[in-house]
Structure 1
Amino acid sequence: TDNLFPYRVYGGQQDNTSVMIESRNPSGWAISDHNWNSSAGGESAFIAFNPDDPRYTMGGSYQGTIELLDQKTNEGKGVMISPIQYQALQPKNMKYRFNWNAPIIWSKHDNAFYHGGNKLFRTTNLGKSWEVISPDLTRNDESKLGISGVPYTNEGAGGENYGTLSYVKDSPNEKGVIWTGSDDGFVHVTRDGGKTWTNVTPAGLQECLINSIEVSPHDNATAYIATTRYKFNDFTPGLFKTTDYGKTWVKINEGIPYGAFTRVVREDDVRKDLLYAGTETGFYISYNGGKNWSACQLNLPVVAITDLMIRQGDLVASTQGRAFWIFDDLSLFRQYDAAAKGFQLLRPEDAVRVSGFSPMDGPANDSEERGPSSPIGTNAPTGVVFYYVLPEKVDSAASLTLQIKDAQGAVVHAYSSEADKKFVSFPGGPNPDPTLSKKSGFNRFVWNMRYPSVEGAPNVYIEGSYRGHKASPGLYTAILKYGSEEKTTTFSILPNPGIQATAAEYQESHEFQSKVEAAITEIHRAVNQLKEAKRQTEDLIKVLDTDASRKEIKDAAEALVKKITTWDEKVVQRKSESNDDIINFVNKISADYIFLKGELDSNTPMVSQGAREQLDALNGLWKTYKAEYEEIVQKDVVNLNTLCRQKGVDKVSLPTSK
């Protein structure tokens, strides 16, 4: 994986090219072929690059061939160490022997690429020249280096080459420390950049494939190897750990059953001793440095996991024929505490503001398949994902609320486990806020990073979104209350790294959109108030129709209804019944505000001059309509109520504003 945003996942595809896939679609619904591309090398490729600047990418293929791909120009160049046609040669007669999956890595310590054959090679000039920095690091057993595939056929592509390096790993924190593993069971380490090498193969290790090596990000002397003997019909898991640069090793397989032979092990880069293992039958996890393991399959298919990598708080898995998979929130594993009981709120992972969507943005449902059914990738959630734990016996009478505050302590949004009983749903109107799940054990809630929706006017169909605008990048506080208990945590909203904008621009956009949303809510509250006043007045007229002695009240009531109707027709368009009616009936002022809101609802915090001018125009028009509204409320309704009291008739009352 590289370290861009979104980061890209690289790998070889059997009988195909190598592939490079974006880990998410930041502006769409799913990860499709538009987010894929080929990369360097071929089907058997190890792929290497500077993750922060992956312009120059090296990818391998058969018999030690390497392609250097310039991903800016999409031009590739062969940089094979020794351009020799090996395919008819016996491995023992080859100048260098290379595994089908010959390892290639890039090292940040010297900006160099390393390539493993039976020896280790290094280039510091993008393959223009290579230097040999090791002796033969394999068993070099010539009895097993004859023609591959005999007596049936000569397998000339190198898929059965033996006595080759199968893995190379440099220490993430210590310059000059490089580990190698071979396909015939040797482990070597150098601590001086290749000048001297030590065979540190675990004592008694049988001939096997060293499938992966991991160096602890927390302790330079600690390393792990994943070995396998499936080619010997031995399916025993084979994980080993050293804490002294390979002088001594211990087996760490407890909990992984026979048959789940081990292909890869990784240590979490945040929580020490949190280990992840990929096996032939699935995924395993250890919280104590490998002393014991537990299966943790979740929704992952039962499939061989060939590699694991941690990137930007995610765990990326490659599988044998079942695609790439991403566990996109390692904060769950990192915060897990088996001893913790009762009510808990986990710190959510910091979230990047993106424009896309995901089927995982909604409430969790353990019974449903997450993600699309068509052959496309599932987007990661596009909001802030909260996880909380409720006691084994949930108090049904206890309230559950979540309040989100900004760095200044102002409430951004609040949610509850109870639905809003006053909410009125209608076509073309806002959606209700989602509710917090309230079940025993783990619960999940995704905040879409938005402020509350603006208020609607029931039965007024408006094309556009009522959703509040997105919160600006910054630090936020979440307060979860369950009955009398309260838990607090913090998290950050991060800007999309590809958007060049200042904190001041985000703040300006926030303030501008807040003004637009406040105006919409104010207008619709006025509309709803006068609609209710009109209903009461019309009911009053029906009563007065049979009483000629109260004609004065009836005339005043009819005049009020007419005045409210005239005002309402200026402010909202009640003839529209669908989005297509935008071409049939002229927008009124509230719809014009919502259209302006939609223009502003972008991940890029830019307020255009046109938007400023339109807001000024709308505010000027609303000022006129608001004055008319206030005259109706403060004069006409009051006068009618006064007249009703004088004549002994019940008055008209306005509903209370929210």
Structure 2
Amino acid sequence: MRKFCFALLLFICFNSTGQTTINSATFGMMEARHLGPGTMSGRITAIEGVNEDGKTLYVGTAGGGIWKSTNAGASFKPIFDKYCQSLGSIAIDQKNPKTVYAGTGESNMRNSVSIGNGLYKTTDGGDNWIKIGLDSTEHIARIAIDPKNSNTIYVAAPGPLWSDSKHRGLYKSIDAGKTWEKILFINDKAGCAEVALDPGNPEVVYASTWEFRRLPYMFSSGGAGSGMYKSVDGGKTWKELTNGLPGKPFGRIAFTLAPSAPSNLVAIVESSETGLYISADGGESWKKQSAILNVVARPFYFSTIVIDPKDEKRVYRPAYTFSFSVDGGYSFAEAGSDGVAVHADHHALWINPNNTNQLYLGTDGGIYYSLDKGGTWFFAQNLPVGQFYHVAVDNKTPYNIMGGLQDNGSWIAPSAAPGGVNNAHWLTINGGDGFWVQPDRNDPDIVYAESQGGNINRINIKTTKAVGIKPQQVAGEEKLRWNWNTPIVTGVAGKKNLYIGAQHLYKSTDQGRNWKRISPDLTTNDKKKQEQENSGGLSADNTSAENHCTIFTIAESPLDENMIWVGTDDGNLQFTEDGGKTWTNTAKNYTAAGIPAQTWVSSIEPSLFDKNVVFASFDNHMYGDHNTYVAKSTDKGKTWTMFNSSEFTGFAHKVKQDLVNKDLLFIGTEMGLFASVDAGASWFRMKNKVPDYSLVRDIQIHPTTHDLILATHGRGIIVVDDISPMRKLDLAIANKEVHLFANDPIKLTTGTFGGGALGADGGWRGGNPPSVPPIQYYLKDRVASGKVVVEVYDANGKLVQSIPASNRRGINKVYWNLRSKPPKTASGGSKMDYGGFIAPMVLPGEYSIKLKIGDKEYPSNITLVHNDANKDFTMEDRVQQHKVATDIYNMHEQLAKTVDDINARQKMLKENITRVKSKKVKTLLEEYHTQLETLRAECLATKQKSLFADEVRLRERITDVYMAVSMEESVPGNLQLERVQSLKQELTKVEQTNAALTTKYYNKVKDALVKEGVIKDEKPGLEVRKGN
């Protein structure tokens, strides 16, 4: 009770009147990087194009929102990041093509399908969206707009997958979505799976209903509620279509009509005689045409069939593969050229009605497009919508990120690369449905990757050799039960330990060559939940996706390798303190905190700070419960306290405690990323360029870079660089007007200077992290007026750099490049000079910082240290490099001073030539101007007229050696040192010549101009200096 009161008091303190609210905006400058990959994308659920141009596309994804292209797919941009990321259907009002409807909630009803929260509408092409209802439908399969009346819209809603619901059926609006009427409803178990309108007479409406249900351990497709219906009065009355169709019960019915001959219908009917059926009379009668397995397989997952808009005989069937018919469905052939295949599992197809050669195909691996009716295909590698389940990192520099993708194997990529992480940096290391990937804690070349059903491989990423190491059933033992998403974990406290879970926990200490079973059956072992061979309903479907009574999550305490926690998919939460000899089940304890029994334990997080403390997340959505369940125990599971927040949306996948600040917590759910800086007393949704409702499946924190790494199920890998500001912000700081954070010592580094492959618009490229730590400060409120700058001074009080800074509320970051101000270089000439873009690296030592806001100053200090990681560059080398770079820096400044002097004199002479009357004086001025121009032309390029005309003068020669010496950590070589000395001599010669010209012409010009009356004696009309 005392703990509860303290948490309540802390919550009140954070939210009382006058106190600052900490939310995502507080950390607004901590912007995420999206690393993809795009080379392997994710499931595409909807594709629609604007008919009138054929170039504007809207693409809906299973968990990555909506992406728009205005150039036929050459590039895409996300336009739905503030809303639910799971899309079931998109429809464009072709009469007003900026009006688009988006139905959330994918309807390919597999076990891992996400949920939606209603129907959205935009009237400006996706810039702004509003929700227009149907919030509780959870899944929307199709949207149909009356082609003659844009106000009339039909929405087919299959409804919830995991529970009965009245929010199913076919809905209609006659006021463009303001109000809705349910016009076809069968029962709480059967929803509407498809709707289509006769384009010539849109009062004719066709719809199919589907009875289905999933439970964690089975799937059933089919029942009395499934059927095919037709209305001829806009849905007021309905007729069930049965003539020629097989006997009931039906399962899912996918159908379409021919736009050019709308009385022709083609349907895939799931039943005891599943097949393709055709009708030539508007559905009044049907005839079975095909039962080819590839055409009719897995009706619950492959629910798309499309007829060419101009040719009613050409029928496309996107399914496991892409097949087509040219005879109205009598026969089918595989599309694609010989030896070239697109990714399997197809769910969406758009055909340009004005050019039916142009096809866009949505698969489990992304988008393909064809310009020859599917004969050949191009893959769009610019959609980073991969569906990761888990993520792990290693300790290399830069560290590697690895994880498994839905239907797309396991992948690995560096967290940073020259020019940014792009598709080429992502390497596939394992096949199947990718789930867990774990690095070996001792051998940096070894990783472990698991695909569905516990199929674990040990992989050498250098040699690419993979060895299967899955534990096998021993004679006399019961069959091993492996979850579809079987957990594999490498130890933290015990770095040789490798764990994998079936219904028993297995441990290996020799990289999986040998395994030891260290537990009894840790599940409920409910035999009623182990009948997966009967799963599927009318179409048997047993792919291990429904395997149940299995271990789902494993966690070794980072403080004690003998303390291991295990969570199961049927609600057990057990731990051992003796390496597996004895086990304690805490399931009954967490239910006392309000978490339903038999809930999936989705993640376990033993604390790094206290081995009595453990966090756990629970997922009950497979019983129709979408609440966010996350809890904490401080007594090894005896009692639990559940976290609550009105901010939470979506069922929980992962809870993560920070590695440094025990009060900093993160939760990843099916609909967002959430953070708490006060041990869970209050929570806020993290945005920070993370889509608001991201499907966050896993979270890691890197121990040295302090990055937050997210595995999202629809937006690939997302990295929030350096979360240390979140660790530092507490209530006292949050209520200060301004706070300048102290910096840890910073290692000097030159960072990176670009590079990498050029992918144009056809590939994906994620950004790099900053190469140096930021200077960070907090503003309670936005600075409304006055400049904000950060000034850096050396130990002698000399200004090193002045850096413009942000005035936004919350944590702000300023990046000092650890260099002084760039030199002033000689101005003018006909060629750009790069010497003024870079300054020498400063030396290690103490520096002071001033944050200036208007007339107020906030001081701090920063320590720079030599980077010992570069063994080829010692402290002595750094001092030598700095000395030489500073010498060249000064040469640039000296030359700039001389050229400025020349420019000023030439300007004066040119102005006065037109003023004097004496020809003799004019000749004198022109002569001086010419001599100065000759000297100026020795200093910098003056005649370059094309991009490739390389006129190199003294300025360019100084820049050449300056850039070579200053950019990277390296000791100047002998030839570079010799070059510096020769350039010093050239500079001295230029200065001497300038001084000689001054001596020769100064008094002559001055006296002549005084005599001409252009200037008065000793007045500043002749702005020249005698020498330098």
TM category (shorter chain) comes to: 0.7 to 0.9
Counterpart of 1:35 (choices 417, 425, 439) is 425
Residues 569-606 of structure 1: CA deviation (Å, up to 9, x unaligned): 21112112454221xxx311111111222333543424
Q: Determine if contact 2:840/2:886 at 8 Å carries over to the other structure.
A: no
Asked if residue 505 in structure 1 is aligned to residue 877 in structure 2, the reply is yes
Asked if residue 462 in structure 1 is aligned to residue 840 in structure 2, the reply is no
Asked if residue 188 in structure 1 is aligned to residue 558 in structure 2, the reply is no
Q: Which residue matches 2:434?
A: 44
Q: Which residue matches 2:524?
A: 139
Residues 371-393 of structure 1: CA deviation (Å, up to 9, x unaligned): x9963323333454344344647
Q: Which residue matches 1:571?
A: 939
Q: Determine if contact 2:750/2:967 at 8 Å carries over to the other structure.
A: no
Q: Which residue matches 1:126?
A: 511
Q: Which residue matches 2:764?
A: 375
CA shift for structure 1 position 452: 2.0
CA shift for structure 1 position 192: 2.2
Q: Which residue matches 2:699?
A: 308
| Matched letter for residue 537 of structure 1 | L
CA shift for structure 1 position 295: 1.7
Q: Which residue matches 2:683?
A: 293
CA shift for structure 1 position 313: 1.0
Q: Determine if contact 1:164/1:182 at 8 Å carries over to the other structure.
A: yes
CA shift for structure 1 position 36: 0.8
Q: Which residue matches 1:427?
A: none
1-structure distance, mates of 2:888, 2:442: 40
CA RMSD in angstroms comes to 3.3
Q: Normalising by structure 1, report the TM-score.
A: 0.84
Q: Determine if contact 1:41/1:66 at 8 Å carries over to the other structure.
A: no
Aligned 1:166-565 pairs, distance under 5 A: 166-201=552-587, 202-204=589-591, 205=595, 206-257=597-648, 259-301=649-691, 302-311=693-702, 312-338=705-731, 339-347=734-742, 353-357=750-754, 375-390=764-779, 392=781, 394=783, 396=785, 398-405=786-793, 411-415=799-803, 435-438=804-807, 443-465=812-834, 466-469=836-839, 471=841, 474=844, 477-482=848-853, 483-490=855-862, 495=867, 500-544=872-916, 546-547=917-918, 551=920, 557-565=925-933
| Matched letter for residue 712 of structure 2 | T
CA 1:478/1:195 → structure 2, altered by over 3 Å: closer, same or farther?
A: farther
CA 1:440/1:288 → structure 2, altered by over 3 Å: closer, same or farther?
A: closer
| Matched letter for residue 414 of structure 1 | S
CA shift for structure 1 position 460: 1.5
Q: Determine if contact 1:107/1:113 at 8 Å carries over to the other structure.
A: yes
2-structure distance, mates of 1:631, 1:209: 89
The DSSP-based 3-state class of the residue aligned with 1:277 is: strand
CA 1:15/1:400 → structure 2, altered by over 3 Å: closer, same or farther?
A: closer
Q: Which residue matches 1:10?
A: 402
1-structure distance, mates of 2:464, 2:932: 66
Q: Which has the higher contact order (CA 8 A, sep 6+)?
A: 2
Q: Which residue matches 1:364?
A: none
Residues 78-122 of structure 1: CA deviation (Å, up to 9, x unaligned): 11211799xxxxxx9853221111111112433121111211111
Identity %, equivalent residues: 24
Asked if residue 55 in structure 1 is aligned to residue 445 in structure 2, the reply is yes
The DSSP-based 3-state class of the residue aligned with 1:531 is: helix
CA shift for structure 1 position 199: 1.6
Asked if residue 619 in structure 1 is aligned to residue 984 in structure 2, the reply is yes
Q: Determine if contact 2:831/2:942 at 8 Å carries over to the other structure.
A: no
2-structure distance, mates of 1:562, 1:49: 71
Counterpart of 2:460 (choices 70, 91, 100) is 70
Asked if residue 24 in structure 1 is aligned to residue 416 in structure 2, the reply is yes
| Matched letter for residue 341 of structure 1 | K
CA 1:527/1:272 → structure 2, altered by over 3 Å: closer, same or farther?
A: same
Q: Which residue matches 1:103?
A: 487
CA shift for structure 1 position 334: 1.6
1-structure distance, mates of 2:474, 2:455: 9
| Matched letter for residue 581 of structure 1 | A
Q: Which residue matches 2:1002?
A: 637
Aligned residues: 610
Q: Determine if contact 1:285/1:296 at 8 Å carries over to the other structure.
A: yes
Q: Determine if contact 2:677/2:727 at 8 Å carries over to the other structure.
A: no
The DSSP-based 3-state class of the residue aligned with 2:429 is: coil
CA 1:470/1:539 → structure 2, altered by over 3 Å: closer, same or farther?
A: closer
2-structure distance, mates of 1:458, 1:392: 41
Residues 146-169 of structure 1: CA deviation (Å, up to 9, x unaligned): 234525355444221111111111
CA 1:209/1:379 → structure 2, altered by over 3 Å: closer, same or farther?
A: same
Q: Determine if contact 2:398/2:416 at 8 Å carries over to the other structure.
A: yes
Q: Determine if contact 1:403/1:480 at 8 Å carries over to the other structure.
A: yes
Q: Determine if contact 2:492/2:557 at 8 Å carries over to the other structure.
A: no
Decide which moves more: 608-617 or 341-350: 341-350
Q: Determine if contact 2:614/2:633 at 8 Å carries over to the other structure.
A: yes
2-structure distance, mates of 1:217, 1:639: 83
Q: Determine if contact 2:843/2:879 at 8 Å carries over to the other structure.
A: no
CA 1:448/1:96 → structure 2, altered by over 3 Å: closer, same or farther?
A: same
1-structure distance, mates of 2:433, 2:843: 41
1-structure distance, mates of 2:954, 2:938: 7
Q: Determine if contact 1:66/1:78 at 8 Å carries over to the other structure.
A: yes
Q: Determine if contact 1:2/1:52 at 8 Å carries over to the other structure.
A: no
Counterpart of 1:607 (choices 948, 960, 972) is 972
CA shift for structure 1 position 450: 3.7
Q: Determine if contact 1:353/1:473 at 8 Å carries over to the other structure.
A: no
CA shift for structure 1 position 556: 5.1
2-structure distance, mates of 1:59, 1:279: 24
| Matched letter for residue 185 of structure 1 | G
Q: Determine if contact 1:7/1:22 at 8 Å carries over to the other structure.
A: yes
Q: Normalising by structure 2, report the TM-score.
A: 0.55
The DSSP-based 3-state class of the residue aligned with 1:514 is: helix
CA shift for structure 1 position 299: 2.3
Decide which moves more: 225-234 or 619-628: 619-628
Q: Which residue matches 1:362?
A: none
The DSSP-based 3-state class of the residue aligned with 1:163 is: coil
| Matched letter for residue 467 of structure 1 | F
CA shift for structure 1 position 461: 3.3
Decide which moves more: 315-324 or 39-48: 39-48
Q: Which residue matches 2:264?
A: none
CA shift for structure 1 position 474: 4.7
Q: Which residue matches 2:141?
A: none
The DSSP-based 3-state class of the residue aligned with 2:914 is: helix
CA 1:479/1:328 → structure 2, altered by over 3 Å: closer, same or farther?
A: same
| Matched letter for residue 605 of structure 1 | S
The DSSP-based 3-state class of the residue aligned with 1:57 is: strand
CA shift for structure 1 position 52: 7.0
1-structure distance, mates of 2:796, 2:635: 49
Counterpart of 2:545 (choices 130, 134, 159) is 159
Q: Determine if contact 2:1002/2:1026 at 8 Å carries over to the other structure.
A: no
